[in-house]
Structure formats: C-alpha cells, structure tokens
Amino acid sequence: MTYTPKVKLPRLLIPVTAMLALALVAGGIFGVISGNTSNAIASESDTSPSPTSSPAAKPAVKSAPKPAVKPASSTTTQPSSTTFTPNPTTFTPSPAPKPKKPKAATRERKARNVPEMPMDKGTGRRIVYDKSLMTVWVMNKNNEVVYRFPIVGRWDRPVMGDYKIFSKSEHSGNPNSKVTFEHMTRFAYGNDGKTAIGFHSIPKYYDGRMMHSVKQLGLPIASGGCVRMAAEDAEKLYEWSKIGDLVVVLPSP
C-alpha cells in the first residue's frame, strides 16, 4: 500500500482554480454552440431558394472628354512676301475686221453695207443726204449720229453741194400731182429755179393712196426732186432742224 501524501493548497488558490476550470468548460461549450450555429446558417443559405434577381445593369460607358476649343487667335496673318511675276508673253489682239465697202442702191435693190457714219468730211451740226446710198444722217454739234433714215430720191437732183434750210411747213402738197405730204423741210430748188426741194413724208394722193410703200424706202425711184421719208422720220427731222441748218448732198454713184 502506497502512501499518497495529501497536498494542502492555500485557501486563496482553490477559488482561482475553480474559476479557471469553469472558464475552460464554458469556452468549450460556446465553441461547440458557435460551430453548430454557423453550420446551420450556412446550410440554410445553401438550401433556401435564391430570389429572382434582375439582370445586371450594364456599366455606364464614359464618353471621352471633348477637347477644349481654343479661341481664335486675333493675330492677323501677315501677307506673303512672295511677289507675282507676270508672264512676259504679251497678248496681241487680232486686228479688227475691215468694214465692207458700201454698195450703191439701184432701182431694184437697196444699198448694201451702209455705214453708221456718213461719208462726208464735215463735222458738227448738219444733215447729210447720200444720193448713192439713199440714206440721210442727222448729226449733232458733237458729230454724233442723232438719226439715220432710208429715203426715196433721185440721182440727178439736187446736185451735190452744201445747202441751207430756208423754209419749213407742217402741211404741204403739189396740186399738179394732186398729192399732199407732211413736215416739209426745204433746202434747195429744182431745175426751174422755182420749185422747192425738201424732206417730207411719202406723198398721198387726194383719195388717200400712198405714192409708194414704206418698204420701198431706200430705192432711187422718185419722179421729182424731193426726198421722201416715213411719216415718223419726216416729223423727227422737221422737229430737230432749224432754219439755216447745213444740208450736205453727196454725189450719185
């Protein structure tokens, strides 16, 4: 028989030892309970059905930042100092075509290539009567054409030369031929030295018929020496002319 000596602990150590034993026992029990609880929660989360989840929203795409617009520079651009050297090749214009030579009128055909200006050598205010071209020009003091009219006359009278307007009548006529005419502007006399020759409208017989048509103006078909014109042309010359104005008669062809 062995002898086991009894160890007597101090009285203060007995309560401390008891408290430590109780703490260890309590800790073990709490660990078991905590483990079981965690497993239960995990198991419940695994077995419980998951609620219907909405589709995941697409992440917002951030747009790239726009580059800042730089304000326009107020600095003016200096012009280039490069000088332009023109091509030394000079342009030579082609010569203007020569005007065609006028062709005199005949009793069946009017004059051709009638020029814009009369073919006399005079200048200033005047009336030019070209018997070859059966045309009358009215010129102002600046030697500019005021009017140009085709007329009916005859080649042999009045003869070429310079004349002066000496008389004007708004209404006139010839009893021998039984005709009347308007806007008579007299500047010469016939072969007898008494019968006046002048510019006037196409004569009309007493019954109203015209001596010839307006379409025949430009032909040398007159029986007398007067210069016949369209009614409106005779009026224009009558209104423009003055007593003493120069009348230049150019030669026949």
Rounded Cα distance, 232 and 182, in Å: 10
Q: How many CB atoms lie within 10 A of CB 31?
A: 10
pLDDT at 87: 66
3-state secondary structure of 227: strand
Give the dihedral sign, CA 206/207/211/213. positive
pLDDT band at residue 61, thresholds of 50, 70 and 90? very low
Show the tokens assigned to 210.
């015209």
Judge whether residue 24 has pLDDT over 90. no
Structure token digits, residue 104: 């005199």
Domains of the chain plus CATH, in order, are 126-250 (2.40.440.10)
Instruction: Give tens-digit pLDDT for 112-148.
Output: 999 999 999 999 999 999 999 999 999 999 999 999 9
Q: What is the predicted pLDDT for the residue at 78?
A: 57
Contact indicator for 233, 147 with CB cutoff of 8 Å:
yes
Residue 94 confidence (pLDDT): 75
For the segment 170-196, the average pLDDT, to the nearest whole number, is: 94
Written as one letter, the residue type at 163 is Y
Question: Which pTM does this prediction carry?
Answer: 0.62
Residues 230 and 201: their CA atoms lie apart, in Å, by 6
Summarize the confidence of residues 4-19 as an average pLDDT.
48
pLDDT at 50 over 70: no
